[in-house]
Chains A and B, each alone.
Chain A
Amino acid sequence: MSELSSVTGNITIPYTPPPETPKLPPREWVKENLFSSKFNSILTVVSSILLLAIARGLLSFIFNPERQWNATATNLRLLMTQAYPESQYVRIWVCAAILLILTSVSMAIWRTARVVALPDLGRRLLSRGAILALLTLLAPFSGRATLIWLLTAAVVAGVGEGLRRFTNDDQATTTLTLLLVTLSGLVGSLWVVPYGHHSFLMDRTPRVLAEPGTVAMTTKLPWTIMLLIAVAAYFLGGFLRERLPVNATRITVLLLWLMAPPFLLYLVLRDPSFEMGHVFGTDIPIFGVYAVLGSALLLWLSRPSTGEAGRIVAALVLIVGCATFLTPMRMIVRLDMLLLAAFALAAHTFSGGPRAQKRYIFGWLGVLVVMSWMVTAINTPSTVKVPGGFFIGGLSLTLMVAIFTIVISFPLGLALALARTSTMPIFRLLSTWFIEFVRGIPLITILIFFSIMVPLFLPKGMHLSEVTAVVIGYALFSSAYLAENVRGGLQSVDRGQHEAAAAVGMTTAQKTIFIVLPQALRAAIPPLVGHCIGVFKETSLLAIIGLFDILYIARYVMPNQTEFMGSTKENVLFVSAIYWIFTYQMSKASQRLEQRTGLGER
């Protein structure tokens, strides 16, 4: 017996698949799940009636002839980008194209497509068709519309039934193909289906144009190009995946994603008019000094043999960095100094042979370039001139504030959580105070404070647009909550993990980065995504400080247009649908992320 067991590692047992759980035919499934007992049957009937009533209410609201959906159709551009000037509009499309390319390339590189068996697809289409037919019958359509919709439902259900009948489980397609078909259908419909052509004509007296026919050329042409770009980018991604080492490509793409928001916002949308004299005379020399001296310092610090002297020097750099705030000087000099201090402090952790050193120096140079460029770009006036304060509004503003807030508050929240669980009392105290303080203040107060007060406190020569100030305030607020979510994850990491890491001689930083954080963040995915959804939705508070976010436009701007007096209800419903689409996607992404990282397995 023990002879045998000592070699269990090498025995291969022939694979026997688990017994299949038989698929119940629909009628039995319904019986088993919905009408298994008297009580259950009553519940099923009551909730079905309720659901139908709600659906009917919503449908009769949407399709009531009194509704002014014209208002939404005409104001789409306002809702998306507010008053972004027509002449610069190509910039928006460039942004959309860049984001689409990144998305497609990522999808190809991460192989997000999943296989769907055709009969499954058929079943799904069949039920969709049935639901569509049911909704059509519920809705107060005119005779002709009912007929069209019923016909559509019948086609969908028919295709589904056909797939179900005449294919078997070996025949499959991918989610990607389905996505492509759906998108092509949507874009194709822009060319064929008479959605109508709505727009504001900025004549001497602005008037609304609402013509029958397909949508305007300025809508359908760009979207068609976008689709083609996305498909091309997907193939590019597949090509890259084949040719390049996967891990390197993935890291590059992730970095591009991180860089995309500032790049798109400042260079593309804002079009800063750099004053080249200043750039060459001041910005580049400062960058050069830091690049050369900083690299030399880090080269020395990242040698494994540097030892104790390195830690002292790094601490000195940090002290100097903090001291720069006491004397007047350019902000970029101070920020670079702090950045250098951070790299110096971490140098010991990442030290190693020449290759590791080279990588570390490149990391420093990369971050320095980004930092210098950002500060220069922020301090440069924009060429895009719009009425009102900021060059962007509507959904774009909502998305922008949400993305920047989340991106900034993530490292901040991580740092706060680590500080709060650290063994250093001073860090713990500061972090706890900050978190408890911020959590005690309503978000609105913080937004108002940052939009009105902070610009007054800034040192001379530094400007912050209202939006930047608000994003900073919102990020601070969000980081406090995020820190608590991460702290929950940190506490879920077993003590044995800390001990095992310490026992192989890892420093606290190494232990945190390689062992604790990956496990903590994995455990914290659900609350973190919940938090992101919250941040996205709460951007609607921007309206209170006078920024034109999508909800504000729907609630106050559009109902005041003479043509669309009192169209609030429709607009708000439309905006809710948009919010829902985004948050639902985030939820789905979270579920997929959980599956991928294997949460809930073990």
Chain B
Amino acid sequence: MTENPADTAPTGTTGATSEPAAGQTRDLSGARDMIVCEDVSKWYGDFRALDKISATIKEQEVVVVLGPSGSGKSTWIRCINRLEQHQEGRIVVDGVELTNDLRNIEKVRSEVGIVFQQFNLFPHLTVRDNITLAPIWVRKRPRAEADAQAMALLERVGIPEQADKYPGQLSGGQQQRVAIARALAMEPKIMLFDEVTSALDPEMVKEVLDIMKTLALSGMTMMVVTHEMGFAKEVADRVIFMEEGQIVEQNTPELFFSNPTEDRTKLFLSQIL
């Protein structure tokens, strides 16, 4: 519908009546399955953090995961690149099933980028080296090529002048942008974002969200855990609501925000909006 999706303005709270944003106009039914979760369960000791999660995420789809703190959002997202191991069920990422086989894990990890709440940049390396390290040693790229790519990425996230600084010298927003560039340098097919703006000062949230929006528009498959409802309404193709390790409800953003079916979802939305 919209010819230039970037111009679509966030229109505030009335989700259903707002101008449909980029994502919602897309028909993804014919697209490939990128992430398939079937009855995924995970326990920490006796505590069940994930309870039979089933969901399929298509290529180019942008999924926002919502839920109260402790509902298992991070656990789920971290299972997808095996930072946590699930104990039951199946997770298939781009046709590769996650098992204990090391080769599969390394393959999946180099195709799935993740950005953390706490940035987790390597403090002893410059911004440039943070970005080029994995392409050089994991993807086996020549250094010159990796350097050029790093500069292009820094250009894309808007901080090319910071290339030779150390992470400790950057603001939170800049650090998070470097973290996104670092993940993108591996040219992943899927990007996972775990509350990437929660540790940022309010004035830096926008600069990071803007980059994520551009990324979504470029066709990246994304799973985003966030508390930024504006982002969810504007960018998401689908919203998944979790509580106590279960998927309670999932729907398009308009319907999810205007017309939630479950009581728990209503309660959550009433608290957060």
Contact = CB atoms under 8 A, between A and B. Distances in A.
B206 A6 contact: yes
Given A506-B134, A506-B138, A510-B138, A499 B183 contact: no
Nearest to A307: B103
B97 to A, nearest CB: 17
A505 B106 contact: yes
Contacts of A9: 158-159, 161-162, 171, 173-174, 207
A145 to B, nearest CB: 55
Contact of B81 (A304, A352, A503): A503
A502 B83 CA distance: 8
A205 interface: no
Contacts of B159: 9
A187 B255 CA distance: 88
B114 interface: yes
B121 interface: yes
Given A5-B203, A496-B118, A499-B83, A351 B182 contact: no
A500 interface: yes
Nearest to A522: B124
A595 interface: no
Interface stretch (A134-142, A209-217, A512-520, A553-561): A512-520
A514 B122 CA distance: 10
The interface centre, meaning the residue of B123, B136, B168, B206 with most chain A CB atoms within 10 A of its CB, is B123
A601 interface: yes
Contacts of A518: 124
B241 interface: no
A356 B136 CA distance: 10
Contacts of A499: 83, 116, 120
A1 interface: yes
Nearest to B138: A505
Contacts of B118: 496
The interface centre, meaning the residue of A5, A304, A503 with most chain B CB atoms within 10 A of its CB, is A503
A352 B140 contact: yes
Contacts of B110: 504-505
Given A9-B159, A522-B124, A504 B83 contact: no
A66 interface: no
A395 B106 CA distance: 53
B109 A503 contact: yes
Given A500-B122, A504-B134, A522-B124, A602 B168 contact: yes
Contacts of A497: 120, 122
A505 B173 CA distance: 24
Interface string B163-189: 000001001011000000011001000
A522 B122 CA distance: 13
Nearest to A494: B120
B5 interface: no
Contacts of A504: 109-110, 113, 133-134, 138, 182-183, 186
Contacts of B182: 504
Contacts of A8: 171, 173, 203-204, 207
A514 B133 contact: yes
A507 interface: yes
The interface centre, meaning the residue of A9, A304, A349, A352 with most chain B CB atoms within 10 A of its CB, is A9
Contacts of B81: 503
A129 B134 CA distance: 57
B47 interface: no
A504 B168 CA distance: 21
Contacts of A352: 136-137, 140
Nearest to A308: B103
B155 interface: no
Nearest to A354: B142
A447 B109 CA distance: 49
B272 to A, nearest CB: 21
Given A499-B116, A518-B124, A602-B123, A507 B106 contact: yes
A353 B83 contact: no
Nearest to B166: A598
Contacts of A507: 106, 138
A497 B81 CA distance: 15
A355 interface: yes
B140 A356 contact: yes
A335 to B, nearest CB: 29
B210 interface: yes
Given A8-B173, A499-B120, 7 more contacts: A5-B203, A9-B162, A352-B136, A355-B142, A496-B118, A499-B116, A505-B106
In order of increasing CB-CB distance, the 5 nearest A-B pairs are: A505-B110, A5-B203, A504-B134, A500-B120, A496-B120
9 contacts: A9-B159, A9-B162, A496-B116, A499-B120, A506-B138, A507-B106, A510-B137, A510-B138, A519-B123
Interface of B: 81, 83, 103, 106, 109-110, 112-114, 116, 118, 120-124, 133-134, 136-138, 140, 142, 158-159, 161-162, 168, 171, 173-174, 182-183, 186, 203-204, 206-207, 210
